[in-house]
A = this chain, B = another copy of it.
Amino acid sequence: MSLKHHTIAGLFTLSTLVPAVASAGDADAGKAKAAVCAACHGKDGIATIPGYPNLAGQNEQYLVSALKAYKNKQRSGGQSTVMQGQAMGLSEDDIANLAAFYASLPAGGQ
């Protein structure tokens, strides 16, 4: 299967599985909850550790799905055990709020 076919199949899967629902997170509540995240991801969402992702300006829906994947232990590569532990105690609201907070920060930390 060519890369092009993978892409087409991927787009089809996406449109089937994710009906474009925006999360209704509260960025202010997310900011309060994000204090512990800052140790690795930076106060402004710019990671303080090279192997960790910047989160500032990241897509809100992606952040929600990533946090849920860590919580559900669907991510096990790299430093995922750290995030599995962090996400374990997060409620659906916490996840939505954290995603809204980091998505609201300027990309690149400007």
Residues of A participating in the B interface, judged by any CB pair closer than 8 Å: 3-4, 6-7, 9-11, 13-14, 17-18, 20, 22, 36, 39-40, 47, 49-54, 56-62, 65-66, 68-70, 72, 74-82, 85-86, 89, 106-110
Least Cβ–Cβ distance between A63 and chain B, in angstroms: 8
Q: Which residues of B contact A52 (CB under 8 A)?
A: 59, 62
A33's closest neighbor in chain B, by CB? Answer: B3
Q: Which residues of B contact A4 (CB under 8 A)?
A: 36
A-B contact pairs, 8 of them (CB 8 A): A3-B86, A13-B79, A20-B50, A47-B59, A50-B61, A65-B77, A74-B75, A106-B108
Q: How far is the CA of A54 from the CA of B57 in the complex (A)?
A: 8
